[in-house]
Structure 1
Amino acid sequence: MRAIQITEFGGPEVLNVTELPDPSAGPGHLLVDVSRAGINYADTHQAEDSYLAASTLPMVPGGEVVGTTPDGRRVVALVGTGGYAEKAVAPEALAWDVPDAIDDTTALGMIVQGASAWVLLRRSVHLAPGESVVVHAAAGGVGSLAVQLAKAWGAGRVIATASSKEKRDLALDLGADVAIDANEPGLKDALIDANGGRRVDTVLEMTGGTVTDQSLRALAPFGRLAFYGMASRREPSPVRPATLMAHSTTISGMWLAHVFQLPGDVMRTALEELFGLAADGRLRVVRGGEYGLAEARRAHEDLRARRTTGKLVLDPSR
């Protein structure tokens, strides 16, 4: 089969197309003929071995696929690694049937990015109806879905940030009440102004650096910030527990892998709600572009340069 293989860690330049033996599925696993693979920002960290889970070489990157099994099931699955290929192996417990009404890109958009938005709003910040929510990187895969879910679940005001006018316009089109420049030097005040002069209740943050710092300062008493990425690759300032107490502030971190340690099938619950909203036309995955296998380097370059919006997918047939 054709696949992308990494034999040394680094940037997009380490992604190489190669021929590899077809994988085989052992007990408890499914072989998936991949129709599309998802491309996530986490894949760029995987390639340079800076992700939360350590990478080992040689490696086929890519953590999510949609396709068919030998018995004809159409599934979307989490594979950890191995997604950027014509065939992949997935644990049976991490594969979910895709309804006929859901296309490949939508299925891939929901399994990591949609589920992340769902968990962030439902479990990390516990968004209550009427509360304000700031969604950073609102034109991205998680952000674009979080904006829509927050509106669907009764947020009082959805404040989006994005780095260009086109991305801010997209966030407004998705339902954000206001969209501001992510590079605004006085971001704290801009967030408060966007909320009608009131400090904000919740923040979904994946940028890091001063964006995190300014967002924390914009929180109202009992405000919550959920941190789920660091796209700038810059650490925020350290936070002292006494500072949290002084402002009744909550900071949480979220890595989707941990939902599988919770009681009950949280992923199935999330996906059933997400697929239902999508089938009803109340939630849409923004199509950010489709790349052939030989274009994987360009996909990572575009991601790291923040040139993308929505969901990116890889077509292993070309």
Structure 2
Amino acid sequence: MRAIRFDRFGGPEVLGLVEVPEPAAGPGQVLITVEAAGINFADTHQTDGSYLAADQLPFIPGSEVVGRTPDGRRVLAKVRGGYAERAVADEAAVFEIPDELPAAHALALLMQGVTAWHLLRGAARLTAGESVVVHSAAGGVGSVAVQLAREFGAGRVLAMASTPEKRELALKLGADAVVDYPLEEPADVILDGTGGPLFDQALDSLADFGRIVTYGSASRTGFTPLDDARMRSLNAAVVGFWLRPTLARPGAFAEPMRKMLELVSQGRLNPVAGPEYPLADAGRAHSELLARQTSGKLTLRP
């Protein structure tokens, strides 16, 4: 079968289309013929070797797919090696979805949607009436977080985005306003997947007992030092979040997925479909994602 693989760490140029043996499903697993594979920003970190947990080379990226099982079910599944024509998933990580649900909409709920859910529910511990600032509000995680924050009872949802088109999208998704730092009023919760200078600016815009949740480093500027005296003076908290260990907790994956699929079916959550690429163009997809040229959920089509 055809798959995208990298044999050395690097930029998008290391992603190559290769022929590999078809994976075999073991006990408790299911083989899926891939209709579409989701692209996440974490995939670019895996590719360049900067991911928190290094993977063994050679490596086929991709953690989520929509496809068909041998018995004909259309499913959304968490996998390893999803940039391929077929992939294997644990039965517990497979969700049956209707034929009318677009693949990109379903994929937007999986890694990115579940991340947004846990950022707000678990890491930030958002309570009703609190204000929320979402960085990269038109991106995969941000576009879901804007909507879930409203669903979870946020008093005000404020968006940050890099272009007029992305700002307009954030407002359509339900953000109350598009803002820049410094904020006119301090925020209770700030979700930051960018890091670098934006993280530093966000610290100064936290309300008393506010929380900034850091879940990524899209700026690739390295680690931001934290001054304990500054944190005491701010009377605020910095919360780190990583999805992989979170998913090991009971109910951390299946419960949010079921609830988000219900919200979509009820029209209360509207995933954003982004660009779609042929499987062979995975490198171009990563390049455009890294250049901030995209919004919504990016997908690959084998």
* TM bucket, shorter chain: over 0.9
User: After the TM superposition, which of the residue ranges 270-279 and 135-144 deviates more from structure 2?
Assistant: 270-279
CA contact (8 A) 1:139 1:162 kept: yes
- The letter of the residue matching 1:306 is R
Deviation at 1:295, TM superposition (A): 1.2
Q: For the residues of structure 2 that align with 1:216 and 1:132, how far apart are their CA atoms?
A: 15
Which residue in the other structure is 1:199 paired with? 186
Q: Does residue 304 of the first structure (1) align with residue 299 of the second (2)? A: no
CA contact (8 A) 1:277 1:283 kept: yes
Q: For the residues of structure 1 that align with 2:14 and 2:224, how far apart are their CA atoms?
A: 32
Q: For the residues of structure 2 that align with 1:59 and 1:92, how far apart are their CA atoms?
A: 23
Q: For the residues of structure 2 that align with 1:208 and 1:247, how far apart are their CA atoms?
A: 18
Q: For the residues of structure 2 that align with 1:114 and 1:101, how far apart are their CA atoms?
A: 19
The one-character-per-residue Cα deviations of 1:255-305 (angstroms, maximum 9, x if unpaired) are 11122332x312111011111111111111111111001111110010000
> Secondary structure at 1:22's aligned position in 2?
coil
- The letter of the residue matching 2:154 is A
User: After the TM superposition, which of the residue ranges 244-253 and 105-114 deviates more from structure 2?
Assistant: 244-253
Which residue in the other structure is 1:36 paired with? 36
Deviation at 1:101, TM superposition (A): 5.4
Map 1:78-89 to 2 at 5 A. Answer: 78-80=78-80, 82-89=81-88
Deviation at 1:105, TM superposition (A): 1.4
Q: For the residues of structure 1 that align with 2:53 and 2:73, how far apart are their CA atoms?
A: 30
Which residue in the other structure is 2:210 paired with? 223
- The letter of the residue matching 2:61 is P
The one-character-per-residue Cα deviations of 1:71-91 (angstroms, maximum 9, x if unpaired) are 2232222223x1110001122
User: After the TM superposition, which of the residue ranges 227-236 and 96-105 deviates more from structure 2?
Assistant: 96-105
Identity %: 52
CA contact (8 A) 1:161 1:168 kept: yes
Q: For the residues of structure 1 that align with 2:227 and 2:301, how far apart are their CA atoms?
A: 46
> Secondary structure at 1:162's aligned position in 2?
coil
> Secondary structure at 2:160's aligned position in 1?
strand
Which residue in the other structure is 2:261 paired with? 275
Q: Does residue 92 of the first structure (1) align with residue 91 of the second (2)? A: yes
CA contact (8 A) 1:102 1:278 kept: no
Which residue in the other structure is 1:260 paired with? 247
Q: For the residues of structure 1 that align with 2:145 and 2:137, how far apart are their CA atoms?
A: 8
Deviation at 1:15, TM superposition (A): 1.0
Q: For the residues of structure 2 that align with 1:234 and 1:277, how far apart are their CA atoms?
A: 36
Q: For the residues of structure 1 that align with 2:102 and 2:290, how far apart are their CA atoms?
A: 26
Deviation at 1:99, TM superposition (A): 4.3
Deviation at 1:69, TM superposition (A): 1.4
The answer for unaligned runs of 5 or more in structure 2 is none
Deviation at 1:100, TM superposition (A): 5.0
CA contact (8 A) 1:23 1:89 kept: yes
Deviation at 1:240, TM superposition (A): 3.0
User: After the TM superposition, which of the residue ranges 54-63 and 209-218 deviates more from structure 2?
Assistant: 54-63
Which residue in the other structure is 1:174 paired with? 173
How large is the RMSD of aligned CA atoms in angstroms? 1.5
Which residue in the other structure is 1:143 paired with? 142
Deviation at 1:236, TM superposition (A): 4.9
Which residue in the other structure is 1:2 paired with? 2
Q: Does residue 105 of the first structure (1) align with residue 104 of the second (2)? A: yes
User: Which ranges of 4 or more aligned residues in structure 1 deviate by more than 6 Å?
Assistant: none
Q: For the residues of structure 2 that align with 1:251 and 1:226, how far apart are their CA atoms?
A: 6
CA contact (8 A) 2:2 2:17 kept: yes
Which residue in the other structure is 2:301 paired with? 315
**What TM-score do you get using the length of structure 1 for normalisation?**
0.91
Which residue in the other structure is 1:134 paired with? 133
Q: For the residues of structure 1 that align with 2:253 and 2:5, how far apart are their CA atoms?
A: 29
- The letter of the residue matching 1:299 is A
- The letter of the residue matching 1:267 is F
> Secondary structure at 1:139's aligned position in 2?
coil
Alignment coverage as a number of residue pairs: 302
CA contact (8 A) 1:212 1:236 kept: no
> Secondary structure at 2:50's aligned position in 1?
coil
The answer for unaligned runs of 5 or more in structure 1 is 182-186
- The letter of the residue matching 2:35 is S
**What TM-score do you get using the length of structure 2 for normalisation?**
0.96
CA contact (8 A) 1:5 1:18 kept: yes
